[in-house]
Amino acid sequence: MAGFGKDSTTDEVLAGIDLHGKRVVVTGASGGLGEESARALASKGAAITMAARNPEKNAAAAARIRETVPDAQLETRELDLASLASVRAFAKGFLAEHERVDVLLNNAGVMACPHTTTADGFEMQLGTNHVGHFLLTGLLDPALGAGSRVVELSSGAHGMADVDYDDPMFERRPYHPWISYGQSKTANALFAVELDRRLRPRGAAAYSVHPGMIMTELARHFTEDTLKEMQEMRAERAARHGGAAEESPPMEFKTVEAGAATQVWAATAPELADRGGSYLANCTVGELGGDIAQSGVAAYALDPASATRLWTLSEELVGEALFG
Q: Are 194 and 200 within 8 A, CB to CB?
A: no
Among residues 181, 207, 279, 300, the one annotated as catalytic is: 181
**207 catalytic, yes or no?**
no
Measure the CA–CA gap between 1 and 22, rounded to whole angstroms. Answer: 23
Measure the CA–CA gap between 293 and 249, rounded to whole angstroms. Answer: 8
Q: Which helix (H) or strand (E) holds 87?
A: helix 84-97
Measure the CA–CA gap between 230 and 146, rounded to whole angstroms. Answer: 40
Handedness of CA 120, 155, 44, 35 (dihedral sign): positive
The full DSSP string for 166-232 is TSTT-SSSPP-HHHHHHHHHHHHHHHHHHHHHHHGGGT-EEEEEE--B--SGGGGG--HHHHHHHHH
Residue 19, amino acid: L
Q: Are 107 and 26 within 8 A, CB to CB?
A: yes
Q: SS3 for 117?
A: strand
Q: Which helix (H) or strand (E) holds 12?
A: helix 10-13
The full DSSP string for 262-297 is HHHHHHH-GGGTT-TT-EEETTEEPEETS-TTTTEE
Which residue numbers are catalytic?
A: 181
